[in-house]
Amino acid sequence: MGRVLAVCGMPASGKGEFAAILRDRGIPILSMGDMIREEVRRRQLQESPEIFGEIASQLRHEFGEEVLASRLTESILNLQPHHALILIEGMRGTAELEVFRTHLKSDLIVVGIHAHKETRFSRVLKRKRSEDGNRSQFEIRENREIGWGLETLIQNADKILENESTIEEFTNEVLAWLNAL
């Protein structure tokens, strides 16, 4: 059975960069953020920072805080026998962690990515994703995700990676850690 990494971090901390590093090495990626983006498209809604947060909150309110993890678990379990390592990108809540721990037990490793708020906001301005928006929207998103338990996930992660430097340095740190696994 393969091990499963679940990466968490505040908005624009580097979860996507972490996933790209693993994807380049052939590791399957299951993105929780992609699940929200897919739901927005399925509902044929106009993409905006507000709508992504609204849909994420609606799903959690209607189906429970663990909805995304519950929906993703079957895919993880199907991949596990065929891959030494799998990545869950974008775990954001403690309820999600409980679902993953229940099903994956010791096969789960939580990776927290940390970057200072100003660093992250400058990344938001550069990347221009439809879910990002302005400073106010950034703060709203951050507070919403903190409310789901994201800070607790990061603080209690099995491994915390700092992402304040260049992409090359971050890549080297990630690769060194992966090689040590």
The range of the structural domain enclosing residue 140 comes to 3-180
Condensed to tens digits (0 to 9), the pLDDT of residues 142-152 reads: 999 999 999 99
Confidence of residue 130 (pLDDT cuts 50, 70, 90): low
pLDDT at 49 over 80: no
Which among 12, 8, 7, 9 is positioned nearest to 131, based on CA atoms?
12
What is the β-pairing status of strands 85-89 and 159-162?
unpaired
Structural domain total, the chain: 1
What's the CATH code of the domain at 71? Answer: 3.40.50.300
Q: What is the C-alpha to C-alpha distance for residues 112 and 115, in angstroms, rounded to an integer?
A: 10
Q: What is the structure's pLDDT at 128?
A: 72
Confidence of residue 95 (pLDDT cuts 50, 70, 90): very high
Condensed to tens digits (0 to 9), the pLDDT of residues 119-128 reads: 999 998 888 7
